[in-house]
Amino acid sequence: MADRVFYARAAIGPAVRGTALVAKDGFSARYDLDRLKGVFSRPEHKLAGESYVGRILVLNVAKGGVATAWMLYEMAARRMAPAALVLNAVNPIMVQGAALAGMTLISGFDRDITDAIPHGALVEIDPTSDRPSIRLV
């Protein structure tokens, strides 16, 4: 079952379970999202047009500027946020934003997590153990 559990170097937030939206693109709340409608809006993004609300976003790296640090909190307050962010590499802004919003964030895998998790898969994230992980259900 080892290929169904993927361990990460760091995580924060509560344990969550949900459907994965997967792409090899990066992620920035300002650059990529229409936060009022709850969809990816950047035309070049692989997930353009897809709703992210309540989904577990599995993407490559944190991109862009500092606004995401506020935006995750604002999205969570309106219940228009993703359930979790799963990234190969974070920048500080994603960590700061997830910390303020109380959102689950997990990153730093031994393999490309966007290859490991199929688009649409049901996954569980355990950020609280000594070895944080994401598991295919």
Partner 1 sequence: MELNEEEKAMRAGELGPARQWAIEHQIQVGGYLGARDLVPVTQAHVMADTESLGEAGVAWLERWAELPWADRRVRVPTITDPRGTDFGAATRLKQEAWMVDRERRTTAAFEALGVLMTNTCINYQTIMPPVFGEHVAYGDTGVVIYCNSVHGARSNFEGGPSALAAGLTGRTPRYGYHLDERRRPTLRINVAWTPRDLNDWGALGGLVGRCAGDYWQVPVLVGLERGPNSDELKHFGAAAASFGSLALFHMAGITPEARRLDDLGDVRNLPTYDIGESDIRAFQRGYGAEADAVDLVVFSAPQLSILEMQRLAELLKGRTTRRPLLAVTSPQVKPDADRMGLTAIIEQAGGTVLSGMCFYQSYAREMAEANGWRRLATNSAKLVNIIGGYGYRPVLLSMAECVDAACTGRIRHG
Binding site for partner 1 (CB under 8 A): 10-12, 26, 30-34, 36, 41-44, 61-71, 73-74, 76-78, 89-93, 95-97, 99-100, 105
Tokens of residue 50, six digits: 């897809």
Q: Which lies closer to partner 1 via its Cβ, residue 121 or residue 127?
A: 127
Instruction: Tell me whether residue 70 or residue 136 sits nearer to partner 1 (CB atom).
Output: 70
Which residue, 6 or 121, has its beta carbon nearer to partner 1? Answer: 6
Q: How many C-beta atoms surround the C-beta of residue 128 within 10 A?
A: 12
Shortest Cβ 96–partner 1 spacing (Å): 4
Tell me the C-alpha to C-alpha distance, in Å, between residue 112 and each of 50, 109, 121: 22, 7, 16
Nearer to partner 1, 11 or 56 (CB): 11
**Cβ contact 123:136 at 8 Å:** yes
Least distance in angstroms from the C-beta of 39 to partner 1: 11
Backbone dihedral angles phi then psi of residue 54, each to the nearest 5 degrees: 75, 0
In the chain, where does DSSP find H-type helix?
29-32, 68-77, 92-101, 113-116
CB of 54 to partner 1, least distance (A): 18
Smallest distance, partner 1 to C-beta of residue 137, A: 25
Q: Is 76:16 a contact under the CB 8 Å cutoff?
A: no
